[in-house]
Each structure stands twice: as structure tokens, then as C-alpha cells.
Amino acid sequence: MLRACSKIIGGVRTLCPPVLFDDLDLTCRAVRSGPDSKDKDRKKRPAECEAMQDILAENDRLNVALIGLLALRAGFIDRAAVVKAVAVDWLVDCARKNGIGGGCPKGDKMSAVIIDGKVFAAKVRGQVAAHVARLVEEHGITPGLAVVLVGSDPASEVYVKSKGKMTVEVGMTSIEHKLPADTAEVDLLALIAKLNADPKIHGILVQLPLPAHLNSELVINSIDPAKDVDGFHISNVGLLGTGQKSMVPCTPLGCLMMLRDHHGSLSGLNAVVVGRSNIVGKPMAQLLLGDSCTVTIAHSRTKDLAAVCRGADILVAAVGRPEMITGDYVKPGATVIDVGINRIERGGKTVLVGDAEFESCAAVAGAITPVPGGVGPMTIACLLANTVTACCRANGLAEPEGLTA
């Protein structure tokens, strides 16, 4: 194997993109303890690992990636052991076309795995619908979600309509309260108190933003924390921050679900959250800490932000600035979760873009969420999931598996 590695070293740097291995640790761990190798091969693993470490000391990440491919093909490690660290499919395809030592065509780029939020959100809604059906059949309980809209903001009206439609589709009860823009604060608080006391309502959401004369914090904190399916109540913020059971904000919860699905375990990964809002940035950081990531919260005023971001295995862009995060901010192979939704003019048209510049980031990242079609669809899906969770907790029933933090 070492001779084969030596044969390819030196001639590959300019032929393939250097985006494949962070370091050799995962490969070495797999070589030592890969599940698919026979006992007689296990004795070889430490020596093979040492040989690859020697090569690593003298050569760049690209060579290590190709060594990883050789180890894979030689049977020292199995595909599952390295698939999260190296673009195995891409490498194997290049190897088939050009031979192990032939490299890849010049200019060929690794494309990131697209984390499809639409597909994942549909899966979550399916899980919610199945659990709702069981609640109805086994306990005679139908989860209920009440949405309160004050005023006639066009974007809010569209969002509330979409929430109501999906709530009904999964079998839950949907209640909408549309109030005029000049609704007095005392009247809004009275409505919320009524919903708090209604046992058939398990989730309450007050659509933001509210008209200027209403105190948003007072209104949100008047919702029963157990029915606060947006996760914005100060009690839920505190519970999440101290690692206790809470209602979790929908967008960060959706991001966490996609990350868990893509990575499996997040333990030990370096995560950078660019953005410090109460709605996304801060709760996202808390959720990642809860999954044993090493977390940095950065923002638009962070010194040398690009360098901070390049240290991330998981990079969450939630800064609220169109395409601020570019490819040079991204560590090769990292997962980029783009929370931003920004409307900009481009080519005489209004287009939606994220906080990450998609093309340049996708050329470097191992996986990325698109805008639109990434995080956005997960927000409503997680609102439905939170409503089912709130219903189960209110009735002393087991929470739905895979739908909570």
C-alpha cells in the first residue's frame, strides 16, 4: 500500500481539488477498528496508520484523501467509516475514469451535497401526521394550534395561511384569530389568556412583527410557556439555556434535525454560528452545545470573521446580510446551514438569496442548504412538531420520537 501511495504522490496536486480530508485521524481510527475487516487484518492496521501519518507529515490534504481511497479499495477500511470525511463517490468516480494515479480532469470541482429542506420537511410532516393519528385513535386527543395575526402585513398573511393549511393536512385543529391593526393591547392579552385556558388548544403562536403600539415582549411572555410553540417565552429561553426540557424555537430546531440527519452524531464537532439573534443565533448555539459541539457565536463585528468561520465543521449563517458568507469563509468539507432569506435585485428581477453566497460556498463545502428550499420549509414543519410535543406533554404522554431536541 505504501508503494502505491508513493507512486501517486507528487503528480496529483494540480489535478484534483484539495477539499477532501481534514486530517488523518478518522482514517487511522477506522484502520485500527474497522468493523468489516477480518481478525487477521487487524494486526496490520497500526502499521498502515503509521505509514499514512508519515506521508501526511510531508504531503498535503489531497494526497491523504487519495491514500484514504487506496485504503478503502484495499479493504483496510470500509466505506461507512470514511464517507463522512471524504468524498468517496467523487473519488471513486475519478479513479474509474482515470485510474488511481491519473487524477481527475483539470478544473473539475467537488460539488457539495445539497441538504434538501423541502424533502426533509415533508418527512417531518409525515411523522407529525402519523403521531397525530395515533393520538386521535388511542387517546381521542386532537392537537390544536391557534395562530393570532394582528394587522394585515402581506408577508405575515401568506405565512399564517400556509401554517393553517399544513396544520389541517397533518390532522390537527387549526384556529386563526385575525385582529385589526389598531387592536388594543388589553384586548390582545385577553384573547391570549382565553387561549391559555382552553384545553383544546395546545399551541399558541402570535405572528410577528406586531404593530408598533403593541409591546411584543409583553405579548409573547403572556403566552403559557407550555403552549409557546415558537419557543420565544423568557421561561423557555431560560430552560433551553440551562439544558432543561423546553419548547424550542422552530428554525433552530429544524437546523438541528437536518444536521443530525446528515452527520449522525455531532459530538466533538466545531460549530460556528454567525448571528446572535434571540430567534435563531442564540438558541442555535444552545442546541449545538446540547449535542456536545464546541460552539462559537460570531457576528458581523467579529474580528477576522472569515478565519473564525474556517475553523468550523458546521457553519450556520444567520447574520441577516445577503451573501455575506463566501467560499473563502468555509472550511473544506464543512456543512453550511444557511438560515438567511433575503430579497435582492439581480438582473432586473427580485430573487431570494441566503446569507451565504451559494456557488462559492458549495464549491468548498461538503454539504449545504440552498435558499430557497433549505431551512425555510423546516420552520413550519417544526412548528407542527412542537404543537404535537406540547400536546403530549399536556396529557402526560410520551413525546414523539425524533421531533424534539
Strand partners, 234: none
Q: Among residues 224, 228, 230, 291, which one is catalytic?
A: 230
DSSP state of 113: E
**Is 127 a known active-site residue?**
no
As a whole number of angstroms, the distance between CA 4 and CA 378 comes to: 46
**Is 163 a known active-site residue?**
yes
Residue 99: alpha-carbon gap to chain centroid: 36
**Is 84 a known active-site residue?**
no
Please list, in sequence order, all residues whose beta carbon lies within 8 angstroms of the beta carbon of residue 45, skipping any fewer than 6 positions away: 31, 32, 33, 34, 37, 76
Sheet order of strands, 203-206 included: 173-179, 144-150, 203-206
**Dihedral sign (CA 370, 372, 376, 381):** negative
On whether the CB atoms of residues 399 and 405 are closer than 8 A, the answer is: no
Q: Among residues 207, 224, 227, 313, which one is catalytic?
A: 207
Q: Return contacts of 192-195, CB within 8 angstroms, 24+ apart.
A: 192/148, 192/219, 192/222, 192/223, 193/222, 195/146, 195/148, 195/227
3-state helix, strand, coil in the chain (%, to 5): 45, 15, 40
DSSP state of 18: S
Residues involved in catalysis: 163, 207, 230
